[in-house]
Amino acid sequence: GQEFDGLVAIVTGGASGIGAAIAARLGDAGASVAVLDLQPEAADAAHFAVQANVADDASVRSAVAAVAEKFGRIDIVINNAGIGAIGTIADNDDDEWARVFSINVTGIARVTRAALPWLLASPSASVVNTSSIAATAGLPARALYTASKGAVLSLTRAMAADHLREGIRVNCVNPGTADTPWVGRLLSQAPDPEAERAALNARQPHGRLVEAGEVADAVAYLASPRSGSTTGASIAVDGGMQNL
Ligand code: NAD
């Protein structure tokens, strides 16, 4: 048998980038994977894809109910859906702060809350949140995004503490700049995308962007009983950037 045989995993934002790599990695190792995404049609056909907006509680509750109905259990929740925001505090207004926090932070509470009865019933419950290098490094002109990802790191610890005795582990990954459609969109806005990509590679401590599959491997470890003594932890997958 394989590592995740018989287990059911929810991956939010699993239709693109890091989430798609996580969904593939868990699926390849035997999990039944449910992708919750704004764009479920973009998910790999191998997964059970459900339309969901993590910023909307009714949408989340109905999507999680659909997963439970389909598979009869939920063991693993990967809270990966997230959006970026560029600017200093002068650049983003209250509405933008509320919108980004509702997706990047409250979305984690919403999805995990909806799945909680199923996680409590699972013998190997694990929650993994996608934070960011932004949580530990002071990136310029990313005030709102950085605050949201710092909150993800703190929320991970709080959830880990609250559900310790209930057998639910909660950890997070902090990716550095990763080669995903998100970063592709940013690069495509540059005057010379190829030169910008080369400059971005050169800014990474190991000279290249992080691969989505490298993040997925760390997530798979945290999702698996192999990390049974690890909760409230974060794994940096950033080429060492957080130490600079
Ligand atoms: P991406 O834009 O390629 O994919 C994000 C996915 O999330 C998309 O499929 C999108 O439809 C979905 N999504 C967005 N808002 C949603 C919502 N409200 N409800 C449900 N689904 C929603 O992005 P990515 O680069 O793969 O990033 C994934 C996660 O990794 C994010 O949390 C991001 O902050 C984090 N991250 C990315 C990088 C990077 O460099 N790419 C670095 C550190 C952290």
Q: Is the CB of 213 under 6 A from ligand 1?
A: no
Give the per-residue SS3 of the chain.
CCCCCCCEEEEECCCCHHHHHHHHHHHHCCCEEEEEECCHHHCCCCCEEEECCCCCHHHHHHHHHHHHHHHCCCCEEEECCCCCCCECCCCCCHHHHHHHHHHHHHHHHHHHHHHHHHHHHCCCEEEEEECCHHHCCCCCCEHHHHHHHHHHHHHHHHHHHHHHHHCEEEEEEEECCECCHHHHHHHHCCCCHHHHHHHHHHHCCCCCCECHHHHHHHHHHHHCHHHCCCCCCEEEECCCHHHC
Q: Identify whether 206 is part of a domain.
A: no
Q: What is the distance in A from the centroid of ligand 1 to the CA of 165?
A: 31
Domain count, the chain: 1
Q: Identify whether 131 is part of a domain.
A: yes
Q: Identify whether 80 is part of a domain.
A: yes
Q: What is the distance in A from the centroid of ligand 1 to the CA of 226?
A: 26
Q: What pLDDT, in 10s, does the model give residues 190-207?
A: 999 999 999 999 999 999
The arithmetic mean of pLDDT across residues 119-136, rounded, is 98
Q: Identify whether 64 is part of a domain.
A: yes
Q: What pLDDT, in 10s, does the model give residues 153-176?
A: 999 999 999 999 999 999 999 999
In the annotation, is 221 catalytic? no
Write the ipTM: 0.99
Domain with residue 136: its CATH number is 3.40.50.720
Domain span at residue 79 reads: 8-178+212-243
Catalytic residue (one of 145, 146, 148, 231): 145
